[in-house]
Amino acid sequence: MDTRIQAPLAPAPERARLVQPVLDAAGPEMDRRRECTPEVVDALAQQDLLRMLLPRSLGGQEVALLDFCRACEAVAYADASCGWFVNQSNVSMSTSAASMPHETAAEMFAGPYAGLAWGAKHGNSKAIRVDGGYRLTGTWSYLSGGRHTKYIGAHSVVQNPDGTSHMRYGRQDDRSFLFLRSEAKITDDWFVLGLRGTGSDTYSVEDLFVPDERAPARDVPEERREKGPLYPIGSTLLYACGFSSVTIGLARRMLDTYLDLARGRHSRASTTAMAKNHAIQREVAILEARLSAARAFIHEAAGAVYDLSAKGKLDLDARMRLRLATTWGMNEATEVSIACYRGAGTTAILDKAPFERRFRDAMSASQHLQAMWPMAEMVGRHLIGTENVVQFV
């Protein structure tokens, strides 16, 4: 019997709600420090929220996708930067572990403080195939949560020593490379509008040897060891589910805060109290409908993808629907956050008020690749049946 398999825990969304008071208290300090505080990291570990997607065979929970969405949303309701880190680390670690040798993954990702961070993929890195592994060189940005993980990673296509493309499974070899954070040069350059608490630094390595067992091809079926329904979904759509849920949780907090303000405030620009203003009554109802509809679309599409994956019947139509739901959800959540900020008036600009930091977080989250409208254009081409380049699904 694998002793790494742990006793049943409370549902992930319930555990995520338990950390909200800690995150609420630490939010301004995380924004100032540009990283999660030690108390927050401890709270996440105590509720085992960094191993939600990790395979059960490695001591993880391998939760259903809907539970993961709800947990990311609950964390982000208290602090969006922390929700971003929870999603990023969970997806990065679990999809890597699912395609690594069991013993290696078990050693690297043991314990509730386990995590993994890496930056965005680009075409300027170099990974040279050598005996037993690879020689990696490059610089990457957006290392979200990397100040709290022992291991970080990077993505690169692979070259042969003579500079030609290294081919595997009939296509160019494209891998993720995992190494100790201490082996990289970290540049503290995360000075940004919002999501400051993610500490998304820039980092680089020069001719770093990474052994084969720490260089998974995460989304390649031929190398996937774990058979659970999460892992065929792939990293991009798992990230999309988590990031869109972060924006939903953030917008929900903005809307709840706006409602609290409207119940007790009389704007100087109006002759009536906010609670009795017909325009505000209509606005909050519409915002509630938009946010609830976006959330329901994400949950419907995520549930369908997960169920089809469990049956071995996951197809492109379902992937495209989830792609659309997550992109649409992020944009709708952004619009709700903007409306709440504007509706709050001058109060919203104050550091001491609950709007300003979360508005900055919402604006920063809206700029992520997952929210870009070309994603919807791709889905539109798929629905029409015209020529298409399928990606990010």
Q: Which residues contact 113 (CB under 8 A, 6 or more apart)?
A: 41, 45, 50, 150
Strand duo 151-159 + 126-130: pairing? parallel
Residue that has been written with the tokens 């549902």 in this structure: 11
From CA 236, how far away is CA 233, in angstroms rounded?
A: 8
Whether 296 has a pLDDT exceeding 60, the answer reads: yes
Please say whether the beta carbons of 104 and 216 come within 8 A: no
Q: Which amino acid is at 70?
A: R
Cα-to-chain-centroid distance, residue 377: 22
Q: What is the pLDDT of residue 269?
A: 65
From CA 56, how far away is CA 279, in angstroms rounded?
A: 51
Between 273 and 253, whose confidence is greater?
253
Residue that has been written with the tokens 């490379």 in this structure: 177
From CA 8, how far away is CA 288, in angstroms rounded?
A: 35
DSSP state of 156: E
pLDDT above 90 covers a percentage of the chain that reads: 93
Q: Which amino acid is at 134?
A: Y
With bands split at pLDDT 50, 70 and 90, how would you rate the model's confidence at 2? very low
Whether 211 has a pLDDT exceeding 90, the answer reads: yes
From CA 137, how far away is CA 321, in angstroms rounded?
A: 37
| DSSP string for residues in 349-386 | G-TTSSSHHHHHHHHHHTTSGGG-THHHHHHHHHHHT-
With bands split at pLDDT 50, 70 and 90, how would you rate the model's confidence at 123? confident
List the domains of the chain with CATH numbers: 12-113 (1.10.540.10), 117-221 (2.40.110.10), 234-384 (1.20.140.10)
Beta strands in the chain (DSSP E): 116-118, 126-130, 133-143, 151-159, 167-168, 171-172, 174-180, 185-187, 201-211
Query: 129 phi and psi, to 5 degrees?
Result: -70, 125
Please write the tens of the pLDDT for every residue from 316-357. Answer: 999 999 999 999 999 999 999 999 999 999 999 998 878 999
With bands split at pLDDT 50, 70 and 90, how would you rate the model's confidence at 300? very high
CA torsion sign for 138, 139, 144, 150 is positive
Please say whether the beta carbons of 155 and 121 come within 8 A: yes
SS3 212: helix
Please say whether the beta carbons of 316 and 381 come within 8 A: no
Q: How many helices (H) and strands (E) does the chain have?
A: 11, 9
Please write the tens of the pLDDT for every residue from 83-105. Answer: 999 999 999 999 999 999 999 99
Give 355's Cβ-side CA count (13 Å radius): 22
Q: Which residues pair with 238 in a beta bridge?
A: none
Please write the tens of the pLDDT for every residue from 69-87. Answer: 999 999 999 999 999 999 9
Please say whether the beta carbons of 26 and 39 come within 8 A: yes
Whether 198 has a pLDDT exceeding 90, the answer reads: yes
Q: What is the pLDDT of residue 273?
A: 84
Range from 143-147, 243-247, 271-275 carrying the lowest mean pLDDT: 271-275
Q: Which residues pair with 128 in a beta bridge?
A: 135, 159
DSSP percent split of the chain into helix, strand, coil, nearest 5: 55, 15, 30
SS3 64: coil
Q: Which amino acid is at 149?
A: T
Whether 3 has a pLDDT exceeding 50, the answer reads: no
Please say whether the beta carbons of 41 and 199 come within 8 A: no
What is the token pair recorded at 381? 């081409």
